[in-house]
Amino acid sequence: MTVYTSGYTSGNYEAFARPRKPAGVDDKTAWFVGAGLASLAGAAFLVRDGQMKGEKITILEEGRLVGGALDGIKEPERGFVIRGGRELEDHYECLWDLFRSIPSLEVADASVLDEFYWLNKDDPNYSLCRVTENRGQDAHTGHMFSLSPKAQKEVTHVFLAPRSEFENKRINEVFSEDFFKSNFWIYWRTMFAFEEWHSALEMKLYLHRFIHHIGGLPTLSALKFTKYNQYESFALPLRKYLLDHGVQFKFSTTVTDVDFDLSDKDGKPHKQATQIHWTVRDDNGTETAGGVDLGPNDLVFMTIGSLTENSDNGDHHTPAKLNEGPAPAWEFWRKIAAKDPSGAFGRPDVFGAHIPETKWEAATATTLDKRIPAYIQKIAKRDPFSGKVVTGGIVTAKDSKWLLSWTVNRQPHFKNQPKDQIVAWIYALFTDVPGDYVKKSIQECTGEEITQEWLYHMGVPEAEIPELAATGAKTVPTMMPYVTAFFMPRQKGDRPDVVPAGATNFAFLGQFAESRSRDCIFTCEYSVRTAMESVYTLLNIERGIPEVFNSTYDIRTLLAAATFLRDGEQVRLPGPDFINRWVLRHLEESTALGGIMVEEGLIPDVRTKKENGVKEENGTKEEAK
């Protein structure tokens, strides 16, 4: 197996370097299973950094659109549909490395990154009402985390303990009821879609990955968003870039299996993909088997698992169905995993065999007049028709039995959206619990009934709810059986390495592949990172992959996070005040760490100051001698 030259790096030296053309690339071809973000990014890295000709790259996709979970579409009868959104931030290093090279479809002579950067500079994100209660009233959390001393110790322990301690453990096995009662948990679980039975390991990885954003949880000020839905803002520019470079797309093509030669050579692992099998579905639904033989120079990049597999859309008058039947993306992974007795291809059933724990339901509501937007404006404290930030991320109804959250991004959310309509996204973490207004679970509800529950939690008078839900919106419910599958408790080896040991011509992509980095899943960044890692490894590209942002090693960030987790309460040592002052002054005047602790607000500034002949210490003044 080849190893990319520079590995993971940080800094401009590697970031700005332009790699030379890899040896033998003109003799190679590339095949991608799936047309999600990971595959699109991988193909782009092959073209840009691997300097492979586009006509030698083929992307095989089961559906008829690119983008995978980066979706956004208007269905003729149902209306607008978005299965989910993506919360973005400054330090998605691989994502922005990719999109700096993808031309914008909106701004002339600009990249997608340029467009995104300017948009968020001019219109920064900030929530004016993150949590509501009592039917649309601001919960007035005061931007506080309300973590008890016990809960603070639990968070600190999870952060500091080794990863191995949390393998195969649930969140509710490492946190107490004190933690689950906190505002921190409300902010955290609804922003990232964590359930109490999800992986404690993923919780730990998230804490490390986003420690620099802890202070922004109550206001979502750390987040950034695209101009439109991610399909139009991200997937379509990538698609055009690839088509312009000659990349081939084969839609309605379901990859069913990949064959491998797993014979060791010279006592070392040797794994080579030898054939791809697929079926092609025509417009009449007839399927024809096909495939391609693979030699040593034919690369195959496989997206395994899927969070959106078997998703089902209802409509305003029809509930979405829970599809627990055959799931091609998961069956594909199961087939290939069974072929390697060493277990190097992962354990798909750790993630894909727990639908009751991995499902939840979302809905896309399109308002049809100005009645519902008036309630949105009352809570968001912004005009939803302004074209600027509206809610600034999700609004959570903390007393909702569904634990319902909703968001309105910049409008229009779709390019072809009428100017007098607003598109909102709604989701519920608790899919099997009857609602507060609608005495059904969200899973049983039509789009109209989901709208009723949403209106109830926005404070619409109960007598007006039925008529307003019936005539003021068109709502599409979406059930996703596997949407949090990657959050199931796991251990090392459950996810295959992006490039398994001994692999010569294949790699695994996406949320269920194990990157060599410290990154966490359920982000656009992770998909792009696995793509970059796979391409750079198999082609031995001589350029470093951007390292995960190092905030978890920055003492300033860690001290600031500690201050936020304590809701600004400064550290006080046991004993009399004069002992506290003496110890803290010694710490602050004798060590650099003490100064940083003062700057980050963790301890009070008790350093002696001499100004204008007056000595000031701890709030008292006396004449300086």
Residue 359 has phi, psi (to 5 degrees) of -85, 150
Is 206 a known active-site residue?
yes
Question: Cis omega (within 30 of 0) on the bond before 412?
Answer: yes
Cβ neighbourhood burial of 337 (10 Å; 0-12, 13-18, 19+): middle
Region of 400 please: left (phi>0), alpha (psi -120 to 50) or beta: beta
Q: Name the amino acid, one letter, at 105.
A: L
Q: Please state, in angstroms and rounded to a whole number, the distance separating the CA atoms of residues 253 and 62.
A: 5
- Cβ distance 1 to 501 under 8 Å? yes
Please state the separation of Cα 554 from the chain's center in Å: 23
Q: Name the amino acid, one letter, at 290.
A: G
Which helix (H) or strand (E) covers residue 312, if one does? strand 312-313
User: How many CB atoms are closer than 10 A to CB 467?
Assistant: 10
User: Which are the contacts of 376, defined by CB distance < 8 A and separation ≥ 6?
Assistant: 384, 390, 391, 408, 422, 424, 458
Q: Please state, in angstroms and rounded to a whole number, the distance separating the CA atoms of residues 177 and 180.
A: 5
- Cβ distance 229 to 413 under 8 Å? yes
Give the number of C-alpha atoms closer than 13 A to the C-alpha of residue 300, restricted to the C-beta side: 23
* CB-based burial, 216-244: b 16+ in 10 Å, e otherwise: bbbbbbbbbbbbbbbbbbbbbbbbebbee
The residue written with tokens 């079926």 in the block is 279
Contacts of 22-28 spanning 24+ positions with Cβ under 8 A: 22/50, 22/51, 22/539, 22/540, 22/541, 22/542, 23/540, 24/297, 25/50, 25/51, 25/52, 25/539, 26/53, 27/297, 28/52, 28/56, 28/297, 28/298, 28/299, 28/539
3-state secondary structure of 225: coil
Single out the catalytic residue among 87, 202, 448, 453: 87
Single out the catalytic residue among 8, 92, 187, 206: 206
The two three-digit tokens of residue 610, written as one number? 């001499």
- Cβ distance 438 to 472 under 8 Å? no
Q: Name the amino acid, one letter, at 353.
A: A
- DSSP for 549-606 reads PGGGG-HHHHHHHHHHHTTTPPP--SS-HHHHHHHHHHHHHH-HHHHHHHHTTSS---
Q: Please state, in angstroms and rounded to a whole number, the distance separating the CA atoms of residues 374 and 385.
A: 10
3-state secondary structure of 284: coil
How big is the CA angle at 356 (ends 353 and 452), to the nearest 5 degrees? 145
Q: What is the C-alpha end-to-end distance of the chain, expressed in Å?
A: 73
Of 225, 248, 236, whose CA–CA distance to 104 is shortest?
236
Furthest-apart CA pair in the chain: how many Å?
A: 96
Which helix (H) or strand (E) covers residue 279, if one does? strand 272-281
Is 526 a known active-site residue?
no
Catalytic residues: 87, 206
